[in-house]
Amino acid sequence: RMLSGYKPKNNVEDSYKILELEEGCSMDDVRNSYRTLAKKYHPDSSSGMADSKAFIRVEEAYRVVLSDLAAKQKSDPGEEEEDQFKSKSLQHRHYLSFEGVGIGTPSQREKQYMQFRVDRATEQVLEYRQQRLESRYAGSDLSRAKDVRQSKKVKITQAVERLVEDLIQESMAKGDFDNLSGKGKPLQKFSDSPHIDPMTHNLNRILIDNGYQPEWILLQKEIRETIERLRSSIVASRRKLGEPMTLSEQKQWGRICEQFEEDIRKLNKRVDNFNLVVPILSRQMVHFSMDKEILRARKTYEAVVEKVSDSDTKENEGEESKRFGWKSSLLKWLKL
């Protein structure tokens, strides 16, 4: 808890001096300077000037400068904000310095960082529940009162869990759990895969149990729903025009294809954003091709038209057989 609320002590001017920069520099200059100094002072580097205290000062100065530049960029809408850069950065980069949390040797900082992640995940779960309750009960004074009561219930969840744990310990002391099935067998607490970090596995399980979904999962679902909607809409537009198309209908079909091409271009931008945040390389998506989608829509339209024509032919044959069926039956009777 103490480490999760840690704040750097450097001011803005000293931070620029530590990074060997001047005020008004760009974001790229700050990043390049930080990388150079981190390679120079990081305790795990092979540099002769490695110093943990100097690296901590550089880390604090880097965060102060980033916050200062972010505050300046918020007043200027033309520049890209640092929050957007963080959301698009690769996830494995976050583990290089443990996000600036902890002091001591790398193993000590890793333990402190794991505890910090547990605390942060717990707070995020509580905030997510509270936001979901606020969106559900927002609207009137009565709903706000319900929201307050629900948020209080969420805050005392940990106290209730501790009470339940005390009751379990008391029952164990009395011997209520002596005759349970599976006594003495190990519990399956972690994943069977040895390549998954147990702490990460448990944190992900807690988030999933509380209804949390990662950004790339939601983005992937949105992309699939959008492409299915575009495919069905262009097939429906082609069916409305019919076959063969007149000159005006061909112009209208050209405008429909241009709008479809623009929609595909926007969808490919979403695919690029998805590929930046997806954590698994095999889950990345490729761009949708305009020519392939038009060809697919044409084949779908031809299959639908062929199916309709076959059904019409069968209906006509059935009517003819009903019309001339009595003559054939009369001829058979005469032959007999």
Query: What tens digit of pLDDT does each residue of 218-243 get?
Result: 899 999 999 999 999 988 888 888 77
User: Highest mean pLDDT range out of 26-30, 153-157, 194-198, 268-272?
Assistant: 268-272
Domains, the chain, with CATH or none: 12-72 (1.10.287.110), 100-137 (no CATH), 149-179 (no CATH), 215-330 (no CATH)
pLDDT tens profile 60-85:
888 888 888 888 877 665 544 444 54
Please confirm whether the linkage preceding 244 is cis (ω < 30° from 0): yes
CA dist 113 to 94, 106, 211, 286, Å?
Answer: 11, 10, 25, 36
CA-CA distance, 298 to 279, in Å (whole number)? Answer: 36
262 band by pLDDT with thresholds 50, 70 and 90: very high
Distance spanning both ends of the chain, measured CA to CA:
102
Alpha carbon distance 54, 59 (integer Å): 9
Assess contact for 116 and 4: CB atoms under 8 A: yes
The encoded tokens of residue 257 equal: 């294809």
Torsion sign (Cα): 184, 189, 192, 193: negative
Cα-Cα-Cα-Cα dihedral sign, residues 246, 247, 250, 255: negative
127-166 CB burial, b ≥16 within 10 A, e <16? eebeeebeeebeeeeeeeeebeebeeebeeeeeeeeeeee
Q: 60: how many CB neighbours lie within 10 A of its CB?
A: 19
In tens, the pLDDT along 280-290 reads: 888 899 999 98
How many of the other CB atoms lie within 10 Å of CB of 196? Answer: 12
Task: Indicate if the pLDDT at residue 190 is higher than 60.
Answer: no
